[in-house]
Structure 1
Protein backbone atom coordinates (compact mmCIF):
# COMPACT_ATOMS: atom_id res chain seq x y z
CA UNK A 1 0.00 0.00 0.00
CA UNK A 2 1.45 3.41 -0.92
CA UNK A 3 2.50 5.59 1.98
CA UNK A 4 -0.08 8.21 0.99
CA UNK A 5 -2.84 5.73 1.78
CA UNK A 6 -1.38 4.74 5.18
CA UNK A 7 -1.38 8.11 6.92
CA UNK A 8 -3.17 7.72 10.21
CA UNK A 9 -3.44 11.21 11.64
CA UNK A 10 -5.62 14.11 10.59
CA UNK A 11 -2.77 16.42 9.58
CA UNK A 12 -1.14 13.81 7.34
CA UNK A 13 -4.46 12.96 5.75
CA UNK A 14 -5.26 16.65 5.21
CA UNK A 15 -1.86 17.27 3.64
CA UNK A 16 -2.29 14.27 1.37
CA UNK A 17 -5.75 15.38 0.25
CA UNK A 18 -4.52 18.92 -0.45
CA UNK A 19 -1.44 17.65 -2.29
CA UNK A 20 -3.60 15.35 -4.42
CA UNK A 21 -5.93 18.24 -5.32
CA UNK A 22 -2.98 20.44 -6.25
CA UNK A 23 -1.49 17.63 -8.33
CA UNK A 24 -4.72 17.28 -10.29
CA UNK A 25 -5.00 20.98 -11.13
CA UNK A 26 -1.31 21.74 -11.71
CA UNK A 27 -0.56 22.36 -15.37
CA UNK A 28 2.45 20.05 -15.41
CA UNK A 29 3.24 16.87 -17.24
CA UNK A 30 2.57 13.40 -15.88
CA UNK A 31 6.24 12.72 -15.21
CA UNK A 32 6.58 15.81 -12.98
CA UNK A 33 3.45 14.87 -11.07
CA UNK A 34 4.73 11.35 -10.53
CA UNK A 35 8.08 12.74 -9.31
CA UNK A 36 6.19 14.90 -6.81
CA UNK A 37 4.29 11.87 -5.48
CA UNK A 38 7.58 10.05 -4.85
CA UNK A 39 9.05 13.18 -3.25
CA UNK A 40 5.99 13.60 -1.01
CA UNK A 41 6.15 9.95 0.02
CA UNK A 42 9.86 10.34 0.70
CA UNK A 43 9.25 13.32 2.97
CA UNK A 44 6.56 11.40 4.83
CA UNK A 45 8.82 8.37 5.31
CA UNK A 46 11.68 10.61 6.39
CA UNK A 47 9.47 12.31 8.98
CA UNK A 48 8.56 8.87 10.34
CA UNK A 49 12.24 7.88 10.58
CA UNK A 50 11.86 5.34 7.76
CA UNK A 51 15.09 6.40 6.07
CA UNK A 52 15.53 3.44 3.71
CA UNK A 53 12.00 3.93 2.39
CA UNK A 54 12.57 7.67 2.11
CA UNK A 55 15.77 7.15 0.11
CA UNK A 56 13.99 4.72 -2.21
CA UNK A 57 11.29 7.32 -2.86
CA UNK A 58 13.81 10.13 -3.34
CA UNK A 59 15.77 8.02 -5.82
CA UNK A 60 12.57 7.38 -7.79
CA UNK A 61 11.78 11.10 -7.70
CA UNK A 62 15.28 11.92 -8.99
CA UNK A 63 14.81 9.54 -11.91
CA UNK A 64 11.67 11.43 -12.96
CA UNK A 65 12.32 15.03 -11.89
CA UNK A 66 13.80 17.36 -14.50
CA UNK A 67 13.45 20.73 -12.77
CA UNK A 68 16.85 21.69 -11.26
CA UNK A 69 15.28 23.51 -8.32
CA UNK A 70 13.09 20.55 -7.40
CA UNK A 71 16.02 18.17 -7.83
CA UNK A 72 18.04 20.29 -5.41
CA UNK A 73 15.52 19.75 -2.62
CA UNK A 74 15.39 16.02 -3.25
CA UNK A 75 19.18 15.84 -3.06
CA UNK A 76 19.21 18.09 0.02
CA UNK A 77 16.77 15.79 1.84
CA UNK A 78 18.89 12.79 0.91
CA UNK A 79 21.87 14.62 2.39
CA UNK A 80 19.93 15.09 5.63
CA UNK A 81 19.33 11.35 5.86
CA UNK A 82 22.96 10.46 5.19
CA UNK A 83 24.15 13.03 7.74
CA UNK A 84 21.78 11.73 10.39
CA UNK A 85 23.08 8.21 9.74
CA UNK A 86 26.68 9.39 10.17
CA UNK A 87 27.50 8.92 6.48
CA UNK A 88 29.18 12.30 6.22
CA UNK A 89 30.92 11.81 2.88
CA UNK A 90 27.65 10.78 1.22
CA UNK A 91 25.87 13.69 2.89
CA UNK A 92 28.42 16.20 1.61
CA UNK A 93 28.23 14.64 -1.86
CA UNK A 94 24.44 15.07 -1.94
CA UNK A 95 24.56 18.61 -0.55
CA UNK A 96 27.14 19.51 -3.24
CA UNK A 97 24.90 18.03 -5.94
CA UNK A 98 21.99 20.03 -4.53
CA UNK A 99 24.11 23.18 -4.78
CA UNK A 100 25.01 22.35 -8.39
CA UNK A 101 21.29 22.25 -9.19
CA UNK A 102 20.46 25.28 -7.04
CA UNK A 103 23.37 27.49 -5.96
CA UNK A 104 21.00 29.54 -3.76
CA UNK A 105 20.58 26.92 -1.05
CA UNK A 106 22.28 28.31 2.07
CA UNK A 107 20.97 25.47 4.23
CA UNK A 108 23.06 23.01 2.21
CA UNK A 109 26.13 25.19 2.70
CA UNK A 110 25.39 25.37 6.43
CA UNK A 111 25.00 21.60 6.72
CA UNK A 112 28.30 20.99 4.94
CA UNK A 113 29.95 23.44 7.34
CA UNK A 114 28.40 21.65 10.32
CA UNK A 115 29.84 18.34 9.12
CA UNK A 116 33.31 19.82 8.62
CA UNK A 117 33.15 21.48 12.04
CA UNK A 118 32.16 18.15 13.61
CA UNK A 119 35.02 16.42 11.82
CA UNK A 120 37.33 19.14 13.12
CA UNK A 121 36.14 18.48 16.66
CA UNK A 122 36.74 14.75 16.15
CA UNK A 123 40.25 15.37 14.83
CA UNK A 124 41.01 17.71 17.71
CA UNK A 125 39.81 15.12 20.25
CA UNK A 126 42.07 12.55 18.57
CA UNK A 127 45.06 14.87 18.97
CA UNK A 128 45.32 15.86 15.29
CA UNK A 129 45.56 19.65 15.62
CA UNK A 130 46.58 20.20 11.97
CA UNK A 131 43.75 18.02 10.68
CA UNK A 132 41.30 19.84 12.93
CA UNK A 133 42.39 23.21 11.57
CA UNK A 134 41.91 21.98 8.01
CA UNK A 135 38.35 20.92 8.79
CA UNK A 136 37.66 24.17 10.63
CA UNK A 137 38.92 26.15 7.63
CA UNK A 138 36.56 24.21 5.36
CA UNK A 139 33.70 24.82 7.78
CA UNK A 140 34.49 28.55 7.77
CA UNK A 141 34.51 28.65 3.98
CA UNK A 142 31.04 27.12 3.74
CA UNK A 143 29.59 29.17 6.60
CA UNK A 144 30.84 32.39 5.03
CA UNK A 145 29.11 31.46 1.77
CA UNK A 146 25.88 30.60 3.62
CA UNK A 147 25.95 33.81 5.64
CA UNK A 148 26.50 35.92 2.52
CA UNK A 149 23.28 34.43 1.12
CA UNK A 150 21.31 34.63 4.36
CA UNK A 151 22.93 37.28 6.58
CA UNK A 152 20.33 37.02 9.33
CA UNK A 153 20.77 33.28 9.74
CA UNK A 154 23.39 31.07 11.35
CA UNK A 155 24.11 33.34 14.32
CA UNK A 156 26.14 30.70 16.16
CA UNK A 157 28.29 30.21 13.07
CA UNK A 158 28.76 33.97 12.78
CA UNK A 159 29.91 34.11 16.39
CA UNK A 160 32.26 31.16 15.87
CA UNK A 161 33.76 32.79 12.78
CA UNK A 162 34.42 36.02 14.67
CA UNK A 163 35.77 34.43 17.85
CA UNK A 164 38.12 32.13 15.94
CA UNK A 165 39.36 34.95 13.71
CA UNK A 166 38.11 33.24 10.56
CA UNK A 167 36.03 36.22 9.50
CA UNK A 168 37.19 39.77 9.13
CA UNK A 169 34.23 41.12 7.22
CA UNK A 170 31.02 42.48 8.64
CA UNK A 171 28.26 40.84 6.65
CA UNK A 172 26.18 40.18 9.70
CA UNK A 173 22.68 41.44 10.36
Structure 2
Protein backbone atom coordinates (compact mmCIF):
# COMPACT_ATOMS: atom_id res chain seq x y z
CA UNK A 1 0.00 0.00 0.00
CA UNK A 2 1.43 3.41 -0.92
CA UNK A 3 2.37 5.55 2.03
CA UNK A 4 -0.10 8.19 0.93
CA UNK A 5 -2.89 5.78 1.79
CA UNK A 6 -1.40 4.91 5.20
CA UNK A 7 -1.27 8.43 6.62
CA UNK A 8 -4.01 8.96 9.12
CA UNK A 9 -3.27 12.31 10.70
CA UNK A 10 -4.66 15.60 9.45
CA UNK A 11 -1.34 17.21 8.59
CA UNK A 12 -0.11 14.24 6.54
CA UNK A 13 -3.43 13.98 4.73
CA UNK A 14 -3.44 17.73 4.02
CA UNK A 15 0.12 17.60 2.71
CA UNK A 16 -0.76 14.63 0.51
CA UNK A 17 -3.83 16.35 -0.93
CA UNK A 18 -1.86 19.54 -1.66
CA UNK A 19 1.01 17.57 -3.18
CA UNK A 20 -1.40 15.64 -5.40
CA UNK A 21 -2.99 18.87 -6.62
CA UNK A 22 0.41 20.37 -7.37
CA UNK A 23 1.46 17.21 -9.19
CA UNK A 24 -1.60 17.38 -11.42
CA UNK A 25 -1.06 21.00 -12.44
CA UNK A 26 2.74 20.96 -12.66
CA UNK A 27 4.08 21.02 -16.20
CA UNK A 28 6.41 18.09 -15.51
CA UNK A 29 6.90 14.82 -17.31
CA UNK A 30 5.63 11.54 -15.90
CA UNK A 31 9.07 10.47 -14.68
CA UNK A 32 9.56 13.68 -12.69
CA UNK A 33 6.12 13.32 -11.15
CA UNK A 34 6.86 9.73 -10.14
CA UNK A 35 10.15 10.85 -8.62
CA UNK A 36 8.29 13.45 -6.57
CA UNK A 37 5.81 10.84 -5.32
CA UNK A 38 8.67 8.65 -4.10
CA UNK A 39 10.38 11.67 -2.55
CA UNK A 40 7.17 12.72 -0.80
CA UNK A 41 6.62 9.19 0.50
CA UNK A 42 10.24 9.12 1.65
CA UNK A 43 9.78 12.33 3.60
CA UNK A 44 6.61 11.00 5.18
CA UNK A 45 8.28 7.73 6.18
CA UNK A 46 11.30 9.64 7.52
CA UNK A 47 9.05 11.86 9.62
CA UNK A 48 7.44 8.72 11.07
CA UNK A 49 10.85 7.23 11.90
CA UNK A 50 10.47 4.53 9.24
CA UNK A 51 14.01 4.98 7.97
CA UNK A 52 14.33 1.79 5.91
CA UNK A 53 11.12 2.64 4.07
CA UNK A 54 12.28 6.23 3.61
CA UNK A 55 15.60 5.10 2.15
CA UNK A 56 13.82 2.74 -0.25
CA UNK A 57 11.63 5.60 -1.45
CA UNK A 58 14.58 7.98 -1.77
CA UNK A 59 16.56 5.40 -3.75
CA UNK A 60 13.65 4.96 -6.13
CA UNK A 61 13.30 8.73 -6.44
CA UNK A 62 16.99 8.97 -7.35
CA UNK A 63 16.55 6.47 -10.18
CA UNK A 64 13.80 8.65 -11.64
CA UNK A 65 14.87 12.21 -10.79
CA UNK A 66 16.99 13.92 -13.44
CA UNK A 67 17.07 17.45 -12.02
CA UNK A 68 20.31 17.90 -10.05
CA UNK A 69 18.77 20.46 -7.70
CA UNK A 70 15.99 18.05 -6.72
CA UNK A 71 18.51 15.19 -6.47
CA UNK A 72 20.50 17.26 -3.97
CA UNK A 73 17.59 17.27 -1.52
CA UNK A 74 16.98 13.55 -1.91
CA UNK A 75 20.66 12.87 -1.19
CA UNK A 76 20.64 15.34 1.71
CA UNK A 77 17.68 13.56 3.31
CA UNK A 78 19.44 10.23 2.90
CA UNK A 79 22.41 11.77 4.72
CA UNK A 80 20.11 12.85 7.54
CA UNK A 81 18.90 9.29 8.00
CA UNK A 82 22.39 7.83 8.10
CA UNK A 83 23.56 10.55 10.51
CA UNK A 84 20.62 9.94 12.84
CA UNK A 85 21.48 6.24 12.83
CA UNK A 86 25.10 7.02 13.76
CA UNK A 87 26.57 5.98 10.39
CA UNK A 88 28.58 9.16 9.99
CA UNK A 89 30.77 7.97 7.13
CA UNK A 90 27.73 7.10 5.02
CA UNK A 91 26.08 10.37 6.01
CA UNK A 92 29.17 12.31 4.93
CA UNK A 93 29.12 10.53 1.59
CA UNK A 94 25.51 11.53 0.95
CA UNK A 95 26.04 15.11 2.13
CA UNK A 96 29.00 15.45 -0.23
CA UNK A 97 26.95 14.00 -3.09
CA UNK A 98 24.19 16.50 -2.34
CA UNK A 99 26.75 19.31 -2.51
CA UNK A 100 28.04 17.97 -5.83
CA UNK A 101 24.51 18.44 -7.15
CA UNK A 102 23.90 21.74 -5.37
CA UNK A 103 26.91 23.55 -3.87
CA UNK A 104 24.61 26.13 -2.29
CA UNK A 105 23.10 23.85 0.34
CA UNK A 106 24.21 25.35 3.66
CA UNK A 107 22.41 22.73 5.72
CA UNK A 108 24.57 20.00 4.15
CA UNK A 109 27.70 22.04 4.89
CA UNK A 110 26.53 22.53 8.48
CA UNK A 111 25.83 18.82 8.96
CA UNK A 112 29.25 17.88 7.60
CA UNK A 113 30.79 20.31 10.08
CA UNK A 114 28.74 18.85 12.92
CA UNK A 115 30.00 15.36 12.11
CA UNK A 116 33.62 16.48 11.91
CA UNK A 117 33.24 18.35 15.19
CA UNK A 118 31.66 15.31 16.85
CA UNK A 119 34.46 13.07 15.56
CA UNK A 120 37.01 15.59 16.83
CA UNK A 121 35.48 15.52 20.30
CA UNK A 122 35.56 11.71 20.36
CA UNK A 123 39.19 11.58 19.26
CA UNK A 124 40.11 14.26 21.78
CA UNK A 125 38.54 12.13 24.53
CA UNK A 126 40.56 9.17 23.27
CA UNK A 127 43.76 11.16 23.81
CA UNK A 128 44.77 12.28 20.31
CA UNK A 129 44.61 16.09 20.44
CA UNK A 130 46.45 16.59 17.12
CA UNK A 131 43.98 14.46 15.17
CA UNK A 132 41.12 16.20 17.01
CA UNK A 133 42.43 19.63 16.01
CA UNK A 134 42.61 18.54 12.37
CA UNK A 135 38.95 17.51 12.52
CA UNK A 136 38.01 20.75 14.28
CA UNK A 137 39.76 22.67 11.50
CA UNK A 138 37.75 20.74 8.89
CA UNK A 139 34.56 21.48 10.80
CA UNK A 140 35.49 25.16 10.90
CA UNK A 141 35.95 25.33 7.13
CA UNK A 142 32.55 23.80 6.47
CA UNK A 143 30.87 26.02 9.04
CA UNK A 144 32.44 29.11 7.50
CA UNK A 145 31.00 28.13 4.12
CA UNK A 146 27.57 27.44 5.58
CA UNK A 147 27.54 30.70 7.52
CA UNK A 148 28.60 32.71 4.48
CA UNK A 149 25.51 31.36 2.67
CA UNK A 150 23.13 31.69 5.62
CA UNK A 151 24.61 34.32 7.97
CA UNK A 152 21.60 34.43 10.27
CA UNK A 153 21.83 30.71 10.94
CA UNK A 154 24.29 28.56 12.84
CA UNK A 155 24.78 31.02 15.71
CA UNK A 156 26.34 28.35 17.94
CA UNK A 157 28.83 27.53 15.21
CA UNK A 158 29.64 31.23 14.82
CA UNK A 159 30.28 31.47 18.57
CA UNK A 160 32.43 28.32 18.50
CA UNK A 161 34.49 29.68 15.60
CA UNK A 162 35.10 32.92 17.46
CA UNK A 163 35.85 31.40 20.88
CA UNK A 164 38.26 28.85 19.42
CA UNK A 165 40.07 31.51 17.39
CA UNK A 166 39.10 29.88 14.10
CA UNK A 167 37.37 33.08 12.96
CA UNK A 168 38.02 36.70 13.68
CA UNK A 169 34.87 37.93 11.97
CA UNK A 170 32.21 39.36 14.25
CA UNK A 171 29.56 39.47 11.56
CA UNK A 172 29.33 37.04 8.67
CA UNK A 173 27.04 39.06 6.38
Please give the TM-score of this superposition, normalised by the length of structure 1: 0.98
Count matched residues. 173
Unaligned runs of 5+ in 1: none
Q: 2:82–2:91: 8 Å Cα contact kept in structure 1?
A: yes
Question: 1:158 — aligned with what?
Answer: 158
Question: 1:89 — aligned with what?
Answer: 89
Return the alpha-carbon distance in structure 2 between the equivalents of residues 72 and 128 of structure 1.
35
Return the alpha-carbon distance in structure 2 between the equivalents of residues 117 and 86 of structure 1.
14
Q: 1:53-101: CA deviations, max 9, x gaps?
A: 0000000000000111100000000000000011101101100110110
TM-aligned CA deviation for residue 28 of structure 1: 0.4
Q: 2:35–2:62: 8 Å Cα contact kept in structure 1?
A: yes
Give the secondary-structure state (helix, strand or coil) at the position aligned to 1:55. helix
Q: 1:62–1:71: 8 Å Cα contact kept in structure 2?
A: yes
Please give the TM-score of this superposition, normalised by the length of structure 2: 0.98
Return the alpha-carbon distance in structure 2 between the equivalents of residues 34 and 171 of structure 1.
43
Return the alpha-carbon distance in structure 2 between the equivalents of residues 6 and 112 of structure 1.
33
Runs of 4+ in 1 over 6 A off after TM superposition: none
